[in-house]
């Protein structure tokens, strides 16, 4: 250029130097701003990944279009990776960015999530690892090389699988989601590089894995723990079901309240009854006139279901009963086809547009330990199990018809083998119960937790429970051939959230159940905060439900090594003492089935009967090869030794570990006071039995002191729902009436 030629040489050199410096500066700035890692997800209709991740309340999770569902969950998975990867990799948060799935980023390592995996197709040589099985929760992960950088592909068979794959990826870098919140999260001791090789595919063992409840009582920390540990079962009654759906949950509705909800005897009869006219326009009555109609019996000017159709309700002691509560009462007349038809009709409406419109799984139970109709047609139906299955056949047929003709979303159904329906059926089972979307849930409420269910050393208690399970799930002559679920009682309502440690039983039972046909698993009354030692039970349960072939020993070993790094030996010994102390509490605080009848310790105390009539439990320590459980002296000794180990652990712990042990302390102090209380009651009971009044009176101050300690414990007994909560630790004992008897005898001046 002529103008340039006339410039002095020095000016040209200076200009070139300045240009080079500017270019170098721009390059350095560009290099500094280039992210080390880009996480790519498809935000779908929401435009940006961050927006999609928080759009759960804007997604219709129950329609037939999965586009917005996938976008929300997969984008949330991206934000979870961005949240935790900096701590895992030793990167600044700014070094990890999110990007929509429009094109493969041009620089840096990349993680492609879910539907964004399509961007990796041009890079692939061999096919990606196949999804194992048919579960939509399966995931696969692989790493591809592209121009000297790594492209990680995390893809689920469905959106939940992508989320689980993201958490599994984090676990490979050393993070562990042992407990609730930040205190319960363990990060790697040192930064971990992203893996150079990766080719993994996993799918769950149990299809549903979680907790049975029927009321809104969760919180975000608890739900995030569930998702991070691949647990997927909770209730549709939760106040924010959209958040749970984002996390991949299956939501339940129903339970013992099914009859009250769908065939409430006190609800208004919705049809125009031929024998009653109140001047209100109603649909015509689809049912013929019943033989027992007696009009408006309470003269309130309207007809209830019971008044309109008394023959629909149970005949108990010669009279039709309207005693149908939310959980207990008298079951309806199961042989009445019109009653079952109306119940099923109301069910479809409830699932379509009522309170159960967010449910994925219908939990269809009859009343809890309810009476059964005594009319002749019901007797012909057979035992309670046969009657229940007959009703279920109609319910399932109605639901499938509604799905086909009315567009009702597919609904899974479960029912229960429990108490009077624990025996297997004796009549042919409706064909509908062989449906893949139906399962019968085995509830071993009368078992013991000293022994695993299949342990031959428990012939006194668990042998019968084992036989019942086999009769439903594995016997070659069984009539029921559908799917089997298990409902366990690790925090039975009577336990009131005492710190149960059941490592041996969970570690043996979960793989055994899976090997013997169970594919769905839940436990009830799970605490949702202040876990303390509950953390190990929940962690172990989650790992084994996902991978039933897992070994409880290494899972627990890693827990102690990483959750309690400075106090590992003391913490492990403390938990071992807890397990010994707690394993027999099913017999002590609740009941077991022994020798053809129900054994309840509290009932025997109230009746002044000998409490020591089982091999499993005595007051003084006795050791036997079979049917042996911790006796009261064993339990007291275990608690005393556990106190020493916990105190020693707290002496050496700091930071998050100290906070975990402080939470353990709160739960353990509750157990200590409870054991002192129970021991005091049993001691005084024995002294009274042998007319040792002086000894009973001498023990009273210690019992009174234990009760006072328990009265001051409130938050630890209010974490597990209405049935398993209590006003305080004293009420939680369930023995306050027995205490009052002793208080009257020994609490005042000596008479």
443-487 pLDDT per residue, tens: 999 999 999 999 999 999 999 999 999 999 999 999 999 999 999
Question: How far is the C-alpha of 75 from the C-alpha of 81, rounded, in Å?
Answer: 10
The token pair at 745 is 């005898």
Question: How far is the C-alpha of 183 from the C-alpha of 194, rounded, in Å?
Answer: 25
b/e code 619-630 from CB counts within 10 Å (16+ = b): eeeeeeeebbbb
- pLDDT for residue 98 is more than 70: yes
- pLDDT for residue 147 is more than 90: no
- pLDDT for residue 30 is more than 70: no
pLDDT digits (tens, 9 = 90+) for 179-237: 999 999 999 999 999 999 999 999 999 999 999 999 999 999 999 999 999 999 999 99
Indicate if the alpha-carbon torsion angle 515, 517, 523, 529 is positive or negative. positive
pLDDT digits (tens, 9 = 90+) for 243-260: 999 999 999 999 999 999
Q: Are strands 315-316 and 319-320 parallel, antiparallel or unpaired?
A: antiparallel
pLDDT at 176: 99
Spell out the long-range contacts of 281-289 with Cβ–Cβ below 8 A and sequence spacing 24 or more: 287/338, 287/341, 287/342, 288/338
Place of tokens 């398993």: 724
Question: How far is the C-alpha of 93 from the C-alpha of 85, rounded, in Å?
Answer: 8
Place of tokens 């309470």: 298
Indicate if the alpha-carbon torsion angle 639, 645, 650, 653 is positive or negative. negative
In the DSSP assignment, the letter for residue 370 is: -
Question: Which one, of 275, 397, 390, lies nearest residue 331 by Cα?
Answer: 390
- How confident is the model over 524-537, as a mean pLDDT? 98
In the DSSP assignment, the letter for residue 583 is: T
- How confident is the model over 102-114, as a mean pLDDT? 96
Mean pLDDT score across all residues of the chain: 95
pLDDT digits (tens, 9 = 90+) for 619-669: 999 999 999 999 999 999 999 999 999 999 999 999 999 999 999 999 999
- How confident is the model over 521-538, as a mean pLDDT? 99
Q: Are 362 and 356 in contact (CB under 8 A)?
A: yes
Place of tokens 């027995």: 738
Question: How far is the C-alpha of 292 from the C-alpha of 297, rounded, in Å?
Answer: 12
Q: How many CB atoms lie within 10 A of CB 243?
A: 18
- The pLDDT-based confidence of 31 (bands split at 50, 70, 90) is very low
- How confident is the model over 318-333, as a mean pLDDT? 98
Three-class secondary structure of residue 584 per DSSP: coil
pLDDT at 8: 38
- The pLDDT-based confidence of 369 (bands split at 50, 70, 90) is very high
First to last CA, the chain: 122
Question: Which one, of 306, 309, 299, 303, lies nearest residue 279 by Cα?
Answer: 303
- pLDDT for residue 751 is more than 70: no
Looking at per-residue confidence, does 347 or 29 come out higher? 347
- pLDDT for residue 34 is more than 90: no
- pLDDT for residue 157 is more than 70: yes
The token pair at 711 is 């009265």
Q: Are 506 and 451 in contact (CB under 8 A)?
A: no
The token pair at 119 is 């961007």
- pLDDT for residue 13 is more than 60: no
pLDDT at 15: 38
Residue 162 CB-half CA count within 13 A: 29
Q: Are 308 and 328 in contact (CB under 8 A)?
A: no
- How confident is the model over 390-398, as a mean pLDDT? 98
Q: Are 702 and 687 in contact (CB under 8 A)?
A: no
- DSSP one-letter string for 175-232: -EE-SSTTTTEE--SS--PPPS--EEEE--SSSEEEEE-SS----HHHHHHHHHTT--
In the DSSP assignment, the letter for residue 716 is: G
Q: Are 252 and 215 in contact (CB under 8 A)?
A: no
Q: Give percent of the chain with pLDDT exceeding 90.
A: 92
Q: What is the CA radius of gyration of the chain?
A: 31
- pLDDT for residue 2 is more than 80: no
- pLDDT for residue 671 is more than 70: yes
- How confident is the model over 681-710, as a mean pLDDT? 98
Q: Are 205 and 548 in contact (CB under 8 A)?
A: yes
Question: How far is the C-alpha of 543 from the C-alpha of 564, rounded, in Å?
Answer: 19
Helix, strand, coil shares, percent, the chain, to 5: 45, 15, 40
In this structure, the chain runs to a length of: 751
**Segment (H or E) for 359:** none
pLDDT digits (tens, 9 = 90+) for 285-316: 999 989 999 999 999 999 999 999 999 999 99
- The pLDDT-based confidence of 749 (bands split at 50, 70, 90) is low
Three-class secondary structure of residue 258 per DSSP: helix
- The pLDDT-based confidence of 33 (bands split at 50, 70, 90) is low
- pLDDT for residue 9 is more than 80: no
Looking at per-residue confidence, does 15 or 559 come out higher? 559
Question: How far is the C-alpha of 237 from the C-alpha of 671, rounded, in Å?
Answer: 31
pLDDT digits (tens, 9 = 90+) for 614-632: 999 999 999 999 999 999 9
pLDDT digits (tens, 9 = 90+) for 41-89: 999 999 999 999 999 999 999 999 999 999 999 999 999 999 999 999 9
pLDDT at 126: 74
């Amino acid at each position: 250029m002529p103008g340039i030629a006339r410039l002095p040489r020095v000016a040209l050199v200076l200009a070139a130097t300045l240009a080079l410096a500017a270019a170098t500066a721009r390059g350095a700035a560009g290099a500094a701003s280039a992210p080390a890692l880009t996480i790519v997800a498809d935000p779908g209709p929401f435009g940006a990944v961050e927006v999609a991740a928080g759009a759960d309340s804007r997604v219709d999770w129950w329609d037939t279009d999965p586009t917005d569902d996938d976008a929300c969950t997969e984008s949330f998975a991206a934000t979870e990776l961005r949240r935790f990867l900096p701590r895992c990799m030793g990167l600044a948060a700014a070094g990890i960015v999110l990007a929509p799935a429009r094109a493969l980023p041009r620089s840096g390592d990349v993680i492609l999530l879910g539907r964004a995996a399509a961007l990796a197709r041009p890079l692939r040589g061999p096919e990606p690892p196949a999804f194992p099985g048919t579960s939509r929760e399966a995931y696969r992960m692989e790493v591809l090389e592209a121009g000297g950088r790594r492209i990680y592909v995390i893809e689920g068979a469905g959106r939940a699988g992508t989320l689980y794959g993201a958490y599994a990826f984090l676990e490979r870098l050393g993070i562990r989601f042992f407990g609730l919140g930040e205190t319960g999260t363990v990060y790697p001791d040192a930064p971990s590089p992203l893996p150079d090789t990766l080719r993994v595919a996993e799918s769950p063992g149990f299809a549903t894995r979680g907790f049975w409840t029927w009321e809104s009582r969760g919180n975000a920390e608890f739900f995030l723990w569930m998702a991070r540990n691949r647990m997927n079962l909770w209730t549709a009654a939760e106040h924010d079901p959209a958040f749970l759906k984002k996390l991949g949950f299956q939501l339940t509705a129903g339970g013992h309240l099914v009859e009250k909800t769908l065939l409430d005897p006190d609800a208004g009869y919705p049809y125009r009854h031929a024998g009653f006219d109140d001047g209100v326009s109603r649909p015509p009555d689809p049912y013929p006139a019943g033989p027992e109609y007696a009009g408006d019996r309470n003269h309130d000017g309207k007809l209830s279901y019971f008044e309109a159709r008394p023959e629909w309700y149970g005949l108990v002691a010669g009279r039709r009963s309207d005693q149908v509560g939310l959980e207990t009462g008298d079951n309806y007349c199961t042989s009445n086809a019109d009653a079952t038809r109306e119940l099923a009709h109301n069910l479809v409406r409830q699932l379509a547009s009522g309170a159960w419109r967010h449910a994925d799984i219908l939990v269809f139970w009859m009343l809890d330990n309810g009476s059964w109709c005594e009319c002749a047609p019901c007797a012909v139906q057979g035992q309670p199990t046969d009657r229940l299955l007959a009703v279920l056949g109609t319910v399932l047929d109605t639901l499938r018809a509604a799905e086909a003709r009315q567009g009702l979303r597919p609904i899974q159904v479960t029912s229960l083998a429990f108490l009077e329906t624990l025996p297997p059926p004796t009549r042919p089972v409706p064909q509908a119960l062989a449906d893949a979307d139906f399962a019968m849930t085995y509830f071993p409420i009368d078992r013991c937790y000293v022994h695993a269910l299949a342990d031959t050393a428990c012939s006194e208690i668990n042998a019968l429970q084992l036989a019942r399970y086999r009769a439903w799930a594995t016997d070659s002559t069984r009539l029921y051939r559908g799917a089997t679920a298990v409902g366990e009682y690790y925090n039975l309502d009577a336990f009131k959230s005492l710190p149960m440690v059941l490592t041996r039983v969970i570690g043996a039972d979960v793989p055994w159940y899976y090997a013997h046909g169970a594919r769905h698993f839940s436990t009830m009354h799970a605490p949702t905060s202040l876990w303390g030692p509950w953390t190990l039970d929940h962690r172990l349960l989650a790992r084994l439900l996902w991978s039933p072939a897992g070994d409880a020993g290494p899972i627990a070993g890693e827990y102690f090594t990483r959750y309690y790094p400075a106090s590992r030996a003391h913490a492990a010994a403390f938990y071992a003492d807890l397990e010994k102390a707690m394993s027999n509490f099913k017999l002590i605080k609740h009941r077991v089935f022994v020798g053809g009848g129900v054994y309840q310790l509290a009932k025997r105390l109230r009746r002044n009967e000998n409490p020591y009539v089982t091999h499993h439990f005595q007051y003084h320590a006795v050791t036997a090869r079979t049917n042996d459980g911790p006796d009261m002296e064993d339990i007291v000794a275990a608690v005393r030794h556990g106190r020493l180990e916990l105190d020693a652990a707290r002496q050496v712990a700091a930071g998050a570990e100290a906070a975990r042990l402080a939470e353990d302390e709160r739960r353990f102090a509750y157990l200590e006071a409870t054991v002192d209380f129970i021991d005091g009651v049993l001691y005084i009971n024995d002294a009274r039995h042998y007319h040792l009044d002086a000894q009973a009176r001498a023990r009273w101050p210690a019992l009174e002191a234990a009760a006072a300690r328990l009265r001051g414990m409130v938050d630890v007994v209010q974490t597990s729902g209405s049935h398993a909560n209590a006003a305080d630790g004293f009420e939680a004992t369930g023995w306050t009436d027995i205490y009052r008897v002793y208080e009257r005898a020994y609490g005042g001046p000596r008479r």
